[in-house]
Amino acid sequence: ETAVTSNFIRNIIAEDLENGKREQVVTRFPPEPNGYLHIGHAKSFSLNFGLAEDFSGRCHLRFDDTNPIKEEDEYVDAIKADVRWLGFDWGEHLHFASDYFDQLYLWAVQLIKAGKAYVDSQTAEEMRENRGTLTQPGVNSPFRDRSVVENLELFEKMKAGEFPDGAHILRAKIDMSSPNMNLRDPAMYRILHAHHHRTGDKWCIYPMYDFAHGQGDSIEGVTYSICTLEFEDHRPLYDWFIEQLGIFAPQQIEFARLNLSYTVMSKRKLLQLVNEQYVSGWDDPRMPTLVGMRRRGYPPAAIRTFCERIGVGKGASWIDLSVLEDCVREQLNESAYRRLAVLKPLKVTLSNYPADKIEMLEAPNHPQQPELGKRKLPFSHELYIDRDDFMEEPPKKFFRLGPGREVRLRNAYIIKCEEVIKNSDGDVVELRCSADLDTLGQNPADGHKVKGIVHWVSAVQAQEVEVRLYDRLFNQENPDKAENYLQALNPDSFQTTTALVEPELIAVEPGSTFQFERVGYFTVDSKDSKSGQPVFNRTVTLRDTWAK
Ligand code: ATP
Ligand code: MG
Ligand code: MG
């Protein structure tokens, strides 16, 4: 199913443009630089950049860096790289909320002068109590009626660093009995003696998200401020600040965030997985981060397809991980070169093939795309096939090898199992086979059919490589439902093994992906591979094998 799924925001915008409500489309993606981007963020920025592309507008990348304690330049760089990796471009429009600190301060002063903001000196505890509840109105702060002059003086002193953290806050004067808790005199500024990754020690008061976000949008001329549903209740506040300040009004539109099965996406949890070494880092191939997916070998086009396919709506959206994996398979099926690799080797000796002969067969890089060329594939009398492709007592429908049975070796000859060799424990250690040397690229002369095709490598030329078999990081559909999400970790999400591969798989570029025929898609690890010594990450299996 490749139909473009519904996107209600696209419809709103198309209508606005048609009836002249808006003239252009300006969106933004506003990550907080406190962690790496994950697939949920990809949904958000594909949407924002995608709409800008669709309507010939522009999309800004704006770092929402109002919380100095958790923010770092390392994350800024990683986020930029991730957005670029998916093919999006913010052009000139790289912005930081911290660029607006001076302007925001002036606007705060403007609201104080207009009697719309005041310095509150209650303790955090008192403020919490006086805020009321959903069923009970709040209580006005005893400091609510401070004079403009006093408020200005206190706010100035807050800025000058004369008070410790938490001594005062600046609040908007709205309505302590509003049914919307966000309108009960929300905080605008807090005192925080903290070093900021960009403004250094210039500030010891920092604006709250709600006082910074809409104004940032307004300054940049953002027409559509698209965010997730948690912010629906903040919209009246977003609009209130814009209206009080009398500045350009963007329109906030909320959509449902992406929830993906077998995955957690809270940055706090991802950070814990990293810090406590449940994974090897933010870029562990099992992580839902874009750096993890890149290392695992997910093509960016597959992630874009996924974001398009899941659509954009208002209802809570749970997407099964297999939807993403299918997008990856579809993409790789088109682009990945085919290679032969054996993960569980079983020796095969061909009795009628000369022991000193090495033949260089030719095999297509991609059977459906001859324009991708061919490679040489060495063939000799000693081979390895996969253990799973042999059964001593096979059932009828087992179209692989068994005593007296025939299979075709992929891109090579048909062989027949003549003898099964066992060790003293009774384990099968070798198969002696005969090859029909008239079957290269053609059917047996007598016309009989051979159904099975198995993959193989030539023993002498095959190379050993490390293969990392990744599976889902969690084995429960919704890890957040477990008492502790760590208990939902899949103990079998990572195994490492040695594979025997055809020689073409040795001089390979980090990051390149191959289909190991009949096995799965594998990507050359970009961190741990060395020249001539690739490490392969299993990107995805050939079909969904996850047992629920
Ligand atoms: P966390 O709450 O875990 O810190 P966040 O949502 O606050 O994550 P931000 O960096 O603030 O992280 O997110 C940037 C943008 O990405 C926001 O607009 C946010 O709504 C959006 N976003 C985050 N997670 C998802 C998700 N799962 N689906 C869709 N959009 C998301
Ligand atoms: Mg956050
Ligand atoms: Mg956020």
* CATH no. for 338-462: 2.40.240.10
Is 267 one of the annotated active-site residues of the chain? yes
Q: How many A from CA of 266 to the centre of ligand 2?
A: 8
Query: How confident is the model at residue 131, as a pLDDT?
Result: 97
- In the annotated binding site, the residues are 32-34, 38-44, 64, 209, 228, 257-258, 265-267
The whole-angstrom separation of Cα 280 and Cα 283 is 7
Is 257 one of the annotated active-site residues of the chain? yes
E runs forming strands in 146-243: 169-172, 187-191, 205-207, 224-228
Q: How many A from CA of 24 to the centre of ligand 1?
A: 25
Strand order of the sheet with strand 187-191?
117-120, 169-172, 187-191, 205-207
Is 295 one of the annotated active-site residues of the chain? no
Q: What is the pLDDT of residues 93-107, one digit of tens each?
A: 999 999 999 999 999
- Please spell the DSSP secondary structure of 245-309, one letter per residue: HT----EEEEEPPEEETT----HHHHHHHHHTTSSSSTT-TTSSBHHHHHHHT--HHHHHHHHHH
Whether residue 317 has its Cβ less than 6 Å from ligand 1: no
E runs forming strands in 309-452: 317-319, 337-339, 341-342, 345-350, 359-364, 374-379, 382-386, 406-409, 414-422, 428-436
Confirm if 387 and 360 have CB atoms less than 8 A apart.
no
Q: What is the pLDDT of residues 482-497, one digit of tens each?
A: 899 999 999 999 999 9
Looking from the CA of residue 37, the nearest atom of ligand 1 is 10
Query: How confident is the model at residue 5, as a pLDDT?
Result: 61
Q: What is the pLDDT of residues 407-424, one digit of tens each?
A: 999 999 999 999 999 999
- Domain borders along the chain are 338-462
Residue position matching structure tokens 């403004």: 199
CA-closest residue to ligand 1 atom 29? 257
Mutate to test the pocket of ligand 1, among 29, 32, 67 (most ligand atoms within 8 A of CB): 32
- In the annotated binding site for ATP, the residues are 32-34, 38-44, 228, 257-258, 265-267
Q: What is the pLDDT of residues 168-197, one digit of tens each?
A: 999 999 999 999 999 999 999 999 999 999
Whether the predicted pLDDT of 316 surpasses 90 = no
Complex ipTM value? 0.95
The whole-angstrom separation of Cα 175 and Cα 181 is 9
* Annotated catalytic residue, options 257, 432, 472, 518: 257
Confirm if 454 and 511 have CB atoms less than 8 A apart.
no
Whether the predicted pLDDT of 433 surpasses 50 = yes
Confirm if 409 and 456 have CB atoms less than 8 A apart.
yes
Q: Which ligand is nearest to the CA of 31?
A: 1
Q: How far is CA 337 from CA 94, 453, 456, 502, 516, in A?
A: 37, 18, 16, 13, 9
Q: How many A from CA of 314 to the centre of ligand 2?
A: 20
What is the percentage of the chain residues whose pLDDT exceeds 70?
99
Confirm if 208 and 234 have CB atoms less than 8 A apart.
no
CA atoms within 13 A on the CB side of 361: 22
